[in-house]
């Protein structure tokens, strides 16, 4: 701090009346100035964001297209009936590729829109931590994606009616799908903070998510294996979202797979806070 603050009341040794000036936030926040607001700003941001999907045609458009495409992929391309097996593998097999385009469409507006219309200036000057803003908006988008995913329940009902599917496998696959949507959204939210332009945010997000999906595939590994050391190739292969998603699709909820998705989300959101702080005023 500059020298000027040294002459402020704080630096007087043991002041008679302790002013809250410049004391650590924690101590001063405990004074009954306002009711306890822990978590409240986050909740308010979450509610506003979640409601905003349904206040605009975004929710309706997204849900209709998502459900139509899941149906088309599962029945037409996946051949759910023709396979003669009571499971949802065709559905979950195509889901990552559907998510690749649809989830960035939700994520692209998260921060790009706030920056474009200038409301980011209001949000950042509120007495709220940046991390609460980022988390509140991310959780709202994730909740919306989970609503869309949950609305595919008729598929589950269909296979239950037609046969006797392994419900544990389907449940684990749904968990994996929700975690994958969350990972894409976290990455997209971070990239959305980088640009005011939603289209740029969308395209970059699709490319990065594609990279995350494919990092275990011959396309990426073949490119690396020619020159990179083996441990690099192995760790890149381990980064693949698809590998972990497929592990969950087998019906085994391995903590490592779940932690992998949570780590991707946490990392992307941490970067999101940094990017927002850096780019908010551009």
Q: Which residues bind another protein (CB under 8 A)?
A: 1-2, 4-5, 8-9, 19-25, 28-29, 33-35, 37, 40-41, 44-45, 47-48, 51-52, 55-56, 117-119, 121-122, 124-129, 280-281
User: Rounded to the nearest whole angstrom, what is the least distance from the CB of residue 218 to another protein in the complex?
Assistant: 45
User: Rounded to the nearest whole angstrom, what is the least distance from the CB of residue 174 to another protein in the complex?
Assistant: 31
Of 50 and 261, nearer to another protein (C-beta) is: 50
- The two three-digit tokens of residue 160, written as one number: 């239950």
User: Rounded to the nearest whole angstrom, what is the least distance from the CB of residue 185 to another protein in the complex?
Assistant: 20
Of 54 and 223, nearer to another protein (C-beta) is: 54
User: Rounded to the nearest whole angstrom, what is the least distance from the CB of residue 169 to another protein in the complex?
Assistant: 40
Of 127 and 229, nearer to another protein (C-beta) is: 127
User: Rounded to the nearest whole angstrom, what is the least distance from the CB of residue 154 to another protein in the complex?
Assistant: 30
The DSSP result for the chain, as a single string, is --GGGGGSGGGSSS-SS---TT--HHHHHTSTTS---TTHHHHHHHHHHHHHHHHSHHHHHHHHHHHHHHHHIIIIIS-HHHHT-SS-HHHHHHHHHHHHHHHHHHHTHHHHHHHHHTHHHHHHTSSS-HHHHHHHHHHHHHHHHHHHHHTTHHHHHHHHHHS---HHHHHHHHHHHHHHHHHHHHHHHHHHTT-S-HHHHHHHHHHHHHHHHHTTSHHHHHHHHTTS-HHHHHHHHHT-HHHHHHHHHTT---HHHHHHHHHHHHHHHHHHHHHHHHHTT-
Of 14 and 33, nearer to another protein (C-beta) is: 33
Of 26 and 256, nearer to another protein (C-beta) is: 26
User: Rounded to the nearest whole angstrom, what is the least distance from the CB of residue 10 to another protein in the complex?
Assistant: 9
Of 48 and 167, nearer to another protein (C-beta) is: 48
């Amino acid at each position: 701090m500059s020298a000027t603050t040294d002459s402020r009341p704080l630096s007087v040794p043991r002041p008679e009346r302790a002013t809250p000036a410049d004391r650590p936030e924690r101590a001063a926040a405990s004074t009954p100035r306002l009711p306890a607001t822990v978590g409240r700003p986050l909740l308010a941001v979450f509610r506003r964001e979640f409601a905003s999907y349904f206040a605009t045609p975004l929710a309706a458009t997204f849900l209709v297209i998502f459900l139509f495409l899941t149906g088309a992929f599962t029945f037409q391309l996946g051949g759910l009936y023709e396979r003669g097996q009571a499971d949802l593998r065709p559905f979950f097999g195509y889901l990552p590729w559907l998510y690749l385009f649809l989830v960035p469409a939700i994520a692209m507006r998260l921060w790009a829109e706030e920056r474009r219309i200038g409301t980011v200036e209001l949000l950042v000057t509120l007495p709220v931590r940046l991390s609460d803003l980022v988390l509140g908006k991310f959780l709202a988008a994730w909740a919306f994606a989970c609503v869309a995913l949950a609305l595919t329940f008729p598929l589950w009902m269909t296979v239950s009616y037609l046969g006797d599917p392994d419900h544990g496998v389907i449940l684990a696959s749904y968990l994996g799908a929700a975690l994958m949507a969350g990972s894409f959204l976290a990455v997209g939210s971070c990239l959305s903070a980088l640009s005011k332009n939603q289209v740029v945010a969308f395209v970059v997000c699709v490319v990065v998510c594609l990279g995350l999906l494919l990092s275990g595939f011959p396309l990426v590994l073949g490119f690396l294996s020619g020159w990179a050391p083996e441990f690099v190739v192995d760790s890149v292969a381990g980064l693949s979202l698809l590998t972990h998603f497929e592990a969950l699709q087998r019906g085994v909820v391995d903590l490592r797979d779940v932690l992998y998705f949570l780590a991707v989300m946490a990392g992307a959101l941490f970067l999101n806070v940094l990017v927002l702080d850096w780019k908010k005023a551009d």
